[in-house]
Amino acid sequence: MQSIRLFGYSLSGFHVFLSLWTLAALLQSYFMDLSGEEAYYVLFARSIDLGYLDHPPMVAFATYLGELLIQNELGARLLFILMSSCSLYLMFDLVDRKNLKLFVFLSMGLLAVHAGSFLIKTDVPLLFGELLFFYCYKHFLDKPSLKYCVGLAFAIAFMFLSKYHGVLIVFFTLLSNPRLFTQKPFYKVLFLTVLLMLPYAFWQYQNDWMSLKFHLSDRSDISFKWSNVLGYLFSQPLVLGPLVSIPMFIAVGKRKGLDLYEKALKYVLIGVLVFFFLQSFRVFIHKHWTSIALVPLFLLSYPYLAEREKLQKTTILLGKITLVALIPVRLYFAFDILPKQFVDSSGPLHHWERWSEQLDSVSAGRSIVFVNSYENASRYQYYADKEAHTLSTFYFNNTQFDYWDYEELIQGKEVFLINHKRNNPNFSAPFDADNRSQIRYAVVADYRSYAQVDIEINEPSESEGYVFGVGETKIVEATISNRGSYPLKLNSSGDMPVVLSQYFLRGEQQLGSKVVLDSLFLDSGASKRIKFELSAPETPGNYQMRLGISYGWIPATINSSRIKLKVKE
């Protein structure tokens, strides 16, 4: 490997590349505003816990440690930059440190490598943990010493505490080598992993497995659409490349005579892609969910690419093209260099501090609540250094905001309510903020919301959920509980009635609603059994049903899980 002398020290070409790459990420992170998702994770870090509704705690721990060192955008991203650079180091080691030129342009041709180098993403620690897992697994197969048992257990726990997708990596690895179950060192790894995961498992138990329930059944994007399936199929070559994925898949297809380590890589690659293809029939697959397939794709394809001169040259060329194309994109992420007409008002990247200052001015000291926008509520908290809340409504998802105490602090206050996307005549006409985003708002004199109320309907006897005839009604029993510090008063009178309604949904699309209860008093901390009438839509089909409590014209909160509803003719 070529080396370079700098200030009297001899540095390998790889160390120079990695240093320059890390420096570029540090500079980009310093100049770039936080995205809404990143600001949300900063709030996680500022309310440190063993778990969160959306994710395990690793993203919060890493953000917290970075902010201890530096109190700005760079500090929040610091640990993610370091994990990204360490991931490249592990990748180069796993391909036996061969062919630096191919490694540089193949890795630089991967969109995920660029994005992961300067953003707070749960995928960054997940991929670092995955690479550490395969590094330890490779050595474990040769020599299952205690060192590699501990390393494997640590890597598995690190993945599980980063993102639930880590389960797939372990599952398909075990599937590739079932003889592991007959070997004593495997049970050392299992014991140590369980030990490391106990605190998180206890947190899940204490919180009624809320995170697992959310991801398995309560997401707003759970519904069948052909666009989800086709979108998944057409997006994967771009996600796993874009351009270099072509020679990488060709190389994987040509590989023969795989050892146990390489067999595990192949099982994970194919298993992950097939798993999410099947999942696309029931839920929208976010593009980055398959990022864990990138590691086995890279590691499996690299030896073949390194040995085939023609294919190697093509790969390097495609990597160079991608790198050149992404440089101006990365510059734009850091600097506002595009004319105004080219900026999408729904997703500007810059001047969020100015935006927060403008909101401060327009809201005139009122508490600020965003409808279904945890991203903007988080950005406002970060840049204005003031509290804000997001109202999660019946057609959307719960967020971690629903488990913090922001809602309770604003009850009965005059609130500056900001609409997210849906049109509503009660909100003002949109106006452009200084950062080119659009704001629609309404002032609510006596704000009320009821996200702290939970309603659990008796389980249906049918395995497919509740089955109704067209327009049929049924009396059901439920338990209603008030976790909030203020009473619930259902009342249909007045200008702003408080009522419990039944909503028919497909994903985020509302297909109808009906008031099911308009008179009830439930004190803080109390629970009671209630009966009410559920109805079916007039059109046959498969629906999701949810209960929500609304306050006047303000959209209802989420007060039950999504319930399957089948309407027969």
**Residues shown for the chain:** 569
Confidence of residue 5 (pLDDT cuts 50, 70, 90): low
Stated pTM of the model: 0.93
Average pLDDT over every residue of 460-475: 80
- Together in a domain, 109 and 133: yes
Do 457 and 391 share a structural domain? Answer: no
Tell me, yes or no, whether 380 and 479 share the same domain. no
| Confidence (pLDDT) at 435 | 85
Q: What is the pLDDT of residues 18-67, one digit of tens each?
A: 999 999 999 999 999 999 999 999 999 999 999 999 999 999 999 999 99
Lowest-confidence region among 120-129, 425-434, 473-482, 493-502:
425-434
Q: Does residue 80 fall inside a structural domain?
A: yes
Among 301, 331, 361, the domain-final residue is: 331
- What pairs with residue 272 in β-bridges? none
Answer yes or no: is 539 within a domain. Answer: yes
What is the model's pLDDT at position 307?
95
In a domain, 70, yes or no: yes
Domain of residue 564, CATH code: 2.60.40.10
Mean pLDDT value of segment 354-376: 94
Q: How many CB atoms lie within 10 A of CB 55?
A: 20
CA 91 to chain centre: 24
> What pLDDT, on a 0 to 100 scale, did the predictor assign at position 225?
84
Give the domain range for residue 129. 12-211+219-331
pLDDT score at 466 = 85
Instruction: Note whether 390 and 286 are same-domain residues.
Output: no
- DSSP state, 551? E
Under the banding of pLDDT at 50, 70 and 90, the label for residue 221 is: low
Among the three residues 299, 331, 363, which one is the final residue of a domain in this structure? 331
Which burial class, exposed, middle or buried, applies to 525 when counting CB atoms under 10 A from its CB (0-12, 13-18, 19+)? exposed
Instruction: Kindly give the residue spans of alpha helices, DSSP state H, lying in 308-345.
Output: 309-334
> Alpha helix (H) ranges present in 207-308?
210-213, 226-239, 245-254, 260-279, 294-307
Instruction: pLDDT band for 217, please (50, 70, 90 cuts).
Output: confident
d(CA 270, CA 283): 20
Percent share of the chain, pLDDT over 70: 95
Q: Quote the mean pLDDT of the chain.
A: 92
In this predicted structure, the answer to whether residue 477 has a pLDDT above a threshold of 60 is yes
Q: Are 62 and 99 part of one and the same domain?
A: yes
Q: Are 385 and 509 in a shared domain?
A: no
Domain final residue, candidates 444, 478, 498: 444
Is-contact 22 41, C-beta < 8 A?
no
What is the pLDDT at residue 370?
A: 96
pLDDT at 213: 87
Assess contact for 319 and 244: CB atoms under 8 A.
Answer: yes
Q: Helix, strand, or coil here: 240?
A: coil
Q: Is residue 342 part of a domain?
A: no
Residues 413 and 489 in one domain: no
Query: Of 40, 24, 157, 11, which is closest to residue 400 (Cα–Cα)?
Result: 40
User: Does 201 share its domain with 251?
Assistant: yes
Query: Rounded to a whole number, what is the largest CA-CA distance in the chain?
Result: 83
The answer to whether position 440 is within a domain reads: yes
Per the structure, the count of domains in the chain is 3
Owner of token pair 């998180």: 200
Name the residue among 504, 475, 507, 493 with its Cα closest to residue 396: 507
pLDDT over threshold 70, residue 270: yes
Block residue for tokens 């040509």: 254
Query: Does residue 512 contact residue 504 with C-beta atoms inside 8 Å?
Result: yes
Radius of gyration of the chain from Cα atoms?
A: 26
The residue with tokens 């690895």 is: 173
Q: Are residues 437 and 460 in the same domain?
A: no
Tell me which H or E stretch contains 62: helix 58-69
Backbone dihedral region of 71: left (phi > 0), alpha (psi from -120 to 50 degrees) or beta?
A: beta
- For residue 461, pLDDT beyond 70: no
Retrieve residue 281's tokens: 């029939």
Structure tokens at 327: 């440089």
Judge whether residue 8 has pLDDT over 70. Answer: no
CA–CA dist 123, 291 (Å, integer): 7
| 374 inside domain | yes
Q: Is the pLDDT assigned to residue 494 strictly greater than 90?
A: no
Distance CA 64, CA 221 (A): 30
Per residue in 81-99, pLDDT (tens digit) is: 999 999 999 999 999 999 9
Is 421's pLDDT higher than 70? no
Determine the number of helices (DSSP H) and then strands (DSSP E) in the chain: 19, 17
